[in-house]
Amino acid sequence: MGLFDGMDQMGLKKISQEDLFKADEPAKKGAPAAAEVKAKPTITEESYLLERTMDCPVCGSKFKVKAVKSGRVRRIGQDKDLRPRFEQMDTSKYDVVVCPECGYAAMTRDFKNIMEPQKKLVLENIKPGFKYEEPGSIYSYDDAIKRYQIALVNAMTCGRKDSEKAYLCLKMGWVIRGKGESLDKEAEDYEAQLKKCNDDENEALKLAFDGFIAARQKEEFPMAGMEQSTLDYLLSVLSMRFDRYDIAAKLVTGILGSRVAGPKIKDLARDLKEEIVEHQKAKEEG
Ligand SMILES: [Zn+2]
């Protein structure tokens, strides 16, 4: 008889002596160090959140989601691809609403925006067998990634616009980047986990890139809330990331020559232009 025998009968994972004092160790390959990722921000992050009651437009049930209190977090900058950074927390984790009853999910701003035929599609294709529990306190990065996945499945099921699906992929990529940044550098498998995050982020952003390129050929601006100059700037950054400097150069030239693009986006585009020139030079020199 071991001290921890019988735990499985209560539906709990058996604890081994070895594991007991190694709480920091990530559970399994592929899985995030969930407990750890959560542990650090809990105290502060929770105080910037509120619970919002939502009415599901698809199944009519009421449920609670966590949302960031407006005006409480301070924006301190952005990544090159426009991912916003806030001093207190990563707000992108809280931008998807999931109905735990029927599985309908969308970005908060689009949640109410669903037509009757699409509701039927959700009820027929997503609701059967859907199992989801709203996380208890804060959303860990893995909770958030899961929420974006559910939203993406919904967007596909409902035939949402390419720009909307691309935007979900972009945001998911940002959240995965956040996860990579939050990993415990002391963890034994830190390198492996970071590599997985980088790979996943690349995959999400490549989907966003392809989706926005497709959308740009058939949809009207604004697209996913972005004016043309903003989207073209974002696409330039993504083009460079995926080694399509030809596309980036064309888009940047368009932004710099645009009469409607604002001075801020032109400044950003100018920085990109320099990078593109550097890249071409390096390539020629070889
Ligand atoms: Zn619902």
3-state secondary structure the chain: CCCCCCHHHHCCCCCCHHHHCCCCCCCCCCCCCHHHHHHCCHHHHHHCEEEEEEECCCCCCEEEEEEECCCCCCEEEECCCCCEEECCCCHHHHCEEECCCCCCEEEHHHCCCCCHHHHHHHHHHCCCCCCCCCCCCCCCHHHHHHHHHHHHHHHHHCCCCHHHHHHHHHHHHHHHHHHHHHCCCCCCCHHHHHHHHHHHHHHHHHHHHHHHHHHHHHCCCCECCECHHHHHHHHHHHHHHCCCHHHHHHHHHHHHHCCCCCHHHHHHHHHHHHHHHHHHHHHHHC
Picking from 25-34, 88-97, 101-110, 126-135, which range would have the lowest pLDDT averaged per residue?
25-34
Residue 123 in domain: yes
- Output the CA 51–ligand 1 centroid distance in Å: 17
Residue 11 in domain: no
- Output the CA 151–ligand 1 centroid distance in Å: 13
The angle, 0 to 180 degrees and rounded to 10, between the axes of the packed helices 228-241 and 190-218 is 140
* End position of a domain, from candidates 189, 218, 247: 218
Per-residue pLDDT, 6: 46
* End position of a domain, from candidates 218, 248, 264: 218
* End position of a domain, from candidates 166, 187, 218: 218
Distance CA 211, CA 220 (A): 14
Mean pLDDT of 116-124: 97
**CA 271 centroid distance within chain:** 26
* Number of structural domains the chain divides into: 2
Domain that holds residue 252: 227-286
Per DSSP, what are the bridge partners of residue 105? 98
- Output the CA 63–ligand 1 centroid distance in Å: 9
Looking at the structure, do residues 231 and 209 belong to the same domain, yes or no? no
Looking at the structure, do residues 209 and 280 belong to the same domain, yes or no? no
Looking at the structure, do residues 55 and 131 belong to the same domain, yes or no? yes
- Rounded to two decimals, the pTM is 0.84
- Output the CA 205–ligand 1 centroid distance in Å: 29
Looking at the structure, do residues 123 and 162 belong to the same domain, yes or no? yes
Looking at the structure, do residues 193 and 142 belong to the same domain, yes or no? yes
- Output the CA 54–ligand 1 centroid distance in Å: 10
CB distance 25 to 187 below 8 Å: yes
Looking at the structure, do residues 150 and 251 belong to the same domain, yes or no? no
Work out the mean pLDDT of the chain and round it to a whole number: 88
* 248 pLDDT tier (thresholds 50, 70, 90): very high
Residue-wise pLDDT for 5-60, tens only, equals 444 544 544 444 444 333 344 444 454 445 555 555 445 899 999 999 999 999 99
Looking at the structure, do residues 112 and 251 belong to the same domain, yes or no? no
Looking at the structure, do residues 110 and 130 belong to the same domain, yes or no? yes
- Output the CA 119–ligand 1 centroid distance in Å: 9
Q: What are phi and psi of 45, to 5 degrees?
A: -60, -40
Residue 18 in domain: no
Q: What are phi and psi of 11, to 5 degrees?
A: 80, 15
Looking at the structure, do residues 82 and 200 belong to the same domain, yes or no? yes
Residue 149 in domain: yes
- Output the CA 101–ligand 1 centroid distance in Å: 5
- Output the CA 278–ligand 1 centroid distance in Å: 51
Residue 79 in domain: yes
- Output the CA 57–ligand 1 centroid distance in Å: 7
- Output the CA 32–ligand 1 centroid distance in Å: 28
Per-residue pLDDT, 286: 79
Looking at the structure, do residues 181 and 198 belong to the same domain, yes or no? yes
Residue 3 in domain: no
Of 197, 199, 198, 178, give the one whose Cα is nearest residue 85.
Answer: 178
Per-residue pLDDT, 11: 52
Looking at the structure, do residues 144 and 209 belong to the same domain, yes or no? yes
- Output the CA 127–ligand 1 centroid distance in Å: 8
Looking at the structure, do residues 180 and 93 belong to the same domain, yes or no? yes
- Output the CA 50–ligand 1 centroid distance in Å: 21
Residue-wise pLDDT for 188-242, tens only, equals 999 999 999 999 999 999 999 999 999 999 999 999 999 999 999 999 999 999 9
Residue 8 in domain: no
* 250 pLDDT tier (thresholds 50, 70, 90): very high
